[in-house]
């Protein structure tokens, strides 16, 4: 078995024969000999040698350096030059073709074998490395996630097709540019822009995770929500830092799906609360028009047929029962919400509660816009539920409700001095204490619901709701 197949391109017939005999004695197989560049290229189209021995001075129009340049572009075959020329200009030209060695005439046999063996070995290693590199980059190209590689100066050395599509840069345009120039991130919660992708605030167990509240602003100015991102350091053989790999993906569909699910959940809650309000109104009407009228009829009957101290006691009990019936009816479906603004309704609610139990204060800050009826009902119910919780569960003695408005938001705050809630925030909404209803009402209004509580320090509830174009008539 031969050590390898070799093509000899040499204009001297004698030198070519000597090389052929020497190589075959050493176990190599010479599969072709020619004396011109044109014939060499023709042979390479037919043969597949493992190495070409190339004389620089050849017959024909092409010299050996020009032929080596063609071999380098078209074929994956190492070239070793054979030359009697050693001038600087020739060597510089030859070096541009990246040869695997030089044999200077006259040469000895051991020199030939050493250079050929080193050339074949070096080419084999390079080929394996290229194949490994091609597999690596082919894998990266096929990954649907965006993959960007940066060096230790934070300049881009590679980005796959997915990353190119997202940042709207070609690989050539992005190459060697700073990562901060190509990957521009914006915090959708705070509006901060741009954010350094390598200095994002990270925490928890995923220490290399990129936060989920970011959008990528590409070169077209398009904002693309990204997520499931990570950045991982690249270490060299000596564990020295040589760069980063950044991965992330376009989560537009995921975000849209979550928004749709949230909207459906809000619609479900809206339908549920609307059903509750209708049922409240029905029961309130039955109490007011049914039971209330029956109690009034009983009272009138009693007044016509009874007298004395026992009758007076009965009339007093009937009056209390009628008042309680009216109060329950009003709490179930406050008629005042249809005729008065929210501030007036909250003032009335506080006065009603203060007359029976805790001290309740209402404060209105500035001028309040009139609100859509559904917002009035939701905010009123939140205040009503919070008052009930403070009195029944927290044993509060003083409660303060505050209503204010900015240019774009209406703000409702309920604060008490009760026992507070000793539950973690994750468990607060698992309990049947009305907090879920309050939170749901805030979400339906696209508002924020915040509750702060510590055992013994009372509870503070804040609801911040955006105003829309229909919330405009001032009172």
Q: DSSP for 430-470?
A: TSSSSHHHHHHHHHHTT-EEEEEE-TTS-EEEEEEEE--TT
Query: How high is the pLDDT of residue 23?
Result: 92
Q: How confident is the model at residue 385 (pLDDT cuts 50, 70, 90)?
A: confident
Q: Which CATH number fits domain 5-139: 1.10.10.10, 3.40.50.2300, 3.40.630.30, 3.40.50.11750?
A: 3.40.50.2300
Q: How confident is the model at residue 201 (pLDDT cuts 50, 70, 90)?
A: very low
Query: How high is the pLDDT of residue 142?
Result: 66
Query: How high is the pLDDT of residue 202?
Result: 40
* Average pLDDT score over the chain: 80
Parallel, antiparallel or unpaired: strands 448-453 and 359-365: unpaired
Of the candidates 68, 42, 55, 65, the residue with the CA atom closest to the CA atom of residue 16: 55
Q: Of 363-377, 390-404, 411-425, where does mean pLDDT reach its minimum?
A: 411-425
Q: Of 108-117, 251-260, 346-355, 431-440, where does mean pLDDT reach its minimum?
A: 431-440
Copy the structure tokens of residue 119.
């050339």
Q: CA 416, CA 452: separation in Å to the nearest integer?
A: 11
CATH for the stretch 340-475: 3.30.565.10
203-216 pLDDT, tens per residue? 444 446 777 778 88
Query: How high is the pLDDT of residue 51?
Result: 94
CATH for the stretch 144-250: 3.30.450.20
Of the candidates 385, 397, 367, the residue with the CA atom closest to the CA atom of residue 442: 385
Query: How high is the pLDDT of residue 464?
Result: 92
Answer whether 63's CB lies under 8 Å from 57's CB. yes
Answer whether 157's CB lies under 8 Å from 149's CB. yes
Of the candidates 336, 342, 340, 337, the residue with the CA atom closest to the CA atom of residue 405: 342
Query: How high is the pLDDT of residue 206?
Result: 43
Q: Count Cβ atoms below 10 Å from residue 89 Cβ, excluding itself.
A: 8
Residue with tokens 């009339």: 315
- 255 CB contacts (<8 Å, ≥6 apart)? 225, 227
Q: How confident is the model at residue 288 (pLDDT cuts 50, 70, 90)?
A: low
Max avg pLDDT among 172-176, 374-378, 429-433, 456-460 = 172-176
Of the candidates 121, 109, 1, 104, the residue with the CA atom closest to the CA atom of residue 51: 121
Parallel, antiparallel or unpaired: strands 146-151 and 448-453: unpaired
Q: Of 124-128, 154-158, 192-196, where does mean pLDDT reach its minimum?
A: 192-196
Q: Which helix (H) or strand (E) segment is 227 a member of?
A: strand 223-235
Query: How high is the pLDDT of residue 66?
Result: 93
Query: How high is the pLDDT of residue 38?
Result: 92
Q: How confident is the model at residue 103 (pLDDT cuts 50, 70, 90)?
A: confident
Cα torsion through 390, 393, 395, 401, rounded to 10: 0
Packing angle of the helix pair 88-95, 64-74 (nearest 10 deg): 10
Residue 303 pLDDT > 70? no
Residue 326 pLDDT > 70? no
* Mean per-residue pLDDT, 137-162: 82
* Mean per-residue pLDDT, 276-299: 63
Q: Of 75-89, 119-133, 305-319, 361-375, where does mean pLDDT reach its minimum?
A: 305-319
Query: How high is the pLDDT of residue 205?
Result: 40
Q: CA 272, CA 431: separation in Å to the nearest integer?
A: 18
Residue 133 pLDDT > 80? no
Distance of CA 50 to the CA centre of its chain: 51
Query: How high is the pLDDT of residue 294?
Result: 66
Q: CA 316, CA 321: separation in Å to the nearest integer?
A: 9
Of the candidates 445, 465, 446, 451, the residue with the CA atom closest to the CA atom of residue 416: 451
Q: Where are the beta strands (DSSP E) in 138-179?
A: 146-151, 156-159
Answer whether 320's CB lies under 8 Å from 313's CB. no
What Rg value do the Cα atoms of the chain yield, rounded? 43
Q: Where are the domains of the chain?
A: 5-139, 144-250, 255-333, 340-475
Question: What percentage of the chain has pLDDT greater than the value 70?
Answer: 78
For 366, counting Cβ atoms within 10 Å of its Cβ (0-12 exposed, 13-18 middle, 19+ buried), the class is exposed
Q: Count Cβ atoms below 10 Å from residue 348 Cβ, excluding itself.
A: 16
Q: CA 3, CA 15: separation in Å to the nearest integer?
A: 21
Packing angle of the helix pair 435-444, 252-285 (nearest 10 deg): 120
If one compares 70 and 289, the residue with the highest pLDDT of the two is: 70
Q: CA 438, CA 269: separation in Å to the nearest integer?
A: 11
DSSP secondary structure of 153-192: TSBEEEE-HHHHHHHT--HHHHTTSBHHHH--EEETTT--
* Mean per-residue pLDDT, 322-341: 67
Copy the structure tokens of residue 339.
């005729």
Peptide bond into 407 cis (omega under 30): no
15-59 pLDDT, tens per residue? 999 999 999 998 999 999 999 999 999 999 898 899 999 999 899
Number of residues assigned to the chain: 475
3-class secondary-structure state, position 287: helix
Of the candidates 52, 57, 92, the residue with the CA atom closest to the CA atom of residue 74: 52
Query: How high is the pLDDT of residue 117?
Result: 92
């Amino acid at each position: 078995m031969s050590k390898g197949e070799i093509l000899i391109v040499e204009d001297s017939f004698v030198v070519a024969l000597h090389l052929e005999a020497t190589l075959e004695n050493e176990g190599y197989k010479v599969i072709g000999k020619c004396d011109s560049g044109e014939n060499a290229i023709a042979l390479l189209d037919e043969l597949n040698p493992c190495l070409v021995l190339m004389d620089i001075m050849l017959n024909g129009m092409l010299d050996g350096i020009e032929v080596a340049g063609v071999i380098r572009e078209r074929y994956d075959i190492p070239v070793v030059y054979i030359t009697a020329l050693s001038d600087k200009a020739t060597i510089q030209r030859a070096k541009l073709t990246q040869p695997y060695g030089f044999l200077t005439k006259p040469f000895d046999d051991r020199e030939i074998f050493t250079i050929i063996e080193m050339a074949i070995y070096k080419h084999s290693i390079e080929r394996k490395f290229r194949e490994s590199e091609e597999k690596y980059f082919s894998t990266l190209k096929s990954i649907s996630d965006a993959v960007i590689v940066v060096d230790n100066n934070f300049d881009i050395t590679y980005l796959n097709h997915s990353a190119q599509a997202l940042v709207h840069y070609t690989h050539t345009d992005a190459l060697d540019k700073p990562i901060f120039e190509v990957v521009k991130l914006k915090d959708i919660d705070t509006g901060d822009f741009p954010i350094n992708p390598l200095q994002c605030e990270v925490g928890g167990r995923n220490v290399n995770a990129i936060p989920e509240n970011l959008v990528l602003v590409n070169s077209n100015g398009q904002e693309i929500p990204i997520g499931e991102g990570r950045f991982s350091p690249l270490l060299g053989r000596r564990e020295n830092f040589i760069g980063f790999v950044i991965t992330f993906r376009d989560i537009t569909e995921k975000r849209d799906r979550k928004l749709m699910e949230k909207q459906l959940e809000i619609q479900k809650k809206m339908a549920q609360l609307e059903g509750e309000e209708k049922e409240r109104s029905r029961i309130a009407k039955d109490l007011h028009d049914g039971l209330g009228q029956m109690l009034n009829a009983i009272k009138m009957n009693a007044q016509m047929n009874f007298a004395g101290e026992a009758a007076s006691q009965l009339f007093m009990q009937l009056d209390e029962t009628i008042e309680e019936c009216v109060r329950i009816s009003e709490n179930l479906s406050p008629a005042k919400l249809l005729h008065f603004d929210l501030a007036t309704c909250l003032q009335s609610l506080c006065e009603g509660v203060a007359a029976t139990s805790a001290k309740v204060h209402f404060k209105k800050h500035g001028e309040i816009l009139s609100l859509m009826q559904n917002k009035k009902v939701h905010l009123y119910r939140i205040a009503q539920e919070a008052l009930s919780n403070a009195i029944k569960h927290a044993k509060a003695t003083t409660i303060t409700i505050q209503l204010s408005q900015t240019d774009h938001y209406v703000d409702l705050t309920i604060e008490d001095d009760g026992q507070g809630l000793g539950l973690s925030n994750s468990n607060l909404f698992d309990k049947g204490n009305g907090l879920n209803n309050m939170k749901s009402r805030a979400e339906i209004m696209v508002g924020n619901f915040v509750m702060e509580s510590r055992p013994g320090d009372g509870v503070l509830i804040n609801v911040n709701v955006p105003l829309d174009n229909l919330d405009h008539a001032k009172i």
